[in-house]
Amino acid sequence: MTFQKHYFNEVREAQKRAHAPYSNFKVGAYLVTKDGQSFYGANVENAAYPMTICAERSSLVAAIGQGYQAGDFAAITITVDADQPSSPCGACRQVMKELCDDDMPVYMTNQTGEMIESTVGELLPLGFSGKDLNN
């Protein structure tokens, strides 16, 4: 799947929903499924910092909650208000490894529309997931 211009507008809309009173670092995620549905995600901070959820995981959890399953996702776009696009944290990379195909595009953007394109597999090389377990 290739980046589509409306992804940037949608991910900026998702970012508006962020709850970041401590860091003021609002992150938005726009997840597209293989059947064309989409889900917004936003970071939601908590005073007990480990309880914070990132935008990437927020969008994936929303999709799973609506009945989607691992492998149903086509692309994710992430945005931040920073000089450079930011990549997903380690926890998000691990969750994406578990729920998304390794070749799924990950588009990282900033407020000016600058973009870095990667894949789940490139962001977590030699990653381990349930796909690696012998059932």
Residues of each annotated binding site for Zn(2+): 54, 89, 92
Q: Does residue 56 have an active-site annotation?
A: yes
Annotated binding site for substrate: 43-49
HEC string of the chain equals CCCCHHHHHHHHHHHCCCECCCCCCCEEEEEEECCCCEEEEECECCCCHHHCECHHHHHHHHHHHCCCCCCCEEEEEEEECCCCCCCCCHHHHHHHHHHCCCCCEEEEEECCCCEEEEEHHHHCCCCCCHHHCCC
From the candidates 13, 56, 98, 117, give the one annotated as an active-site residue: 56
Catalytic annotation, residues:
56
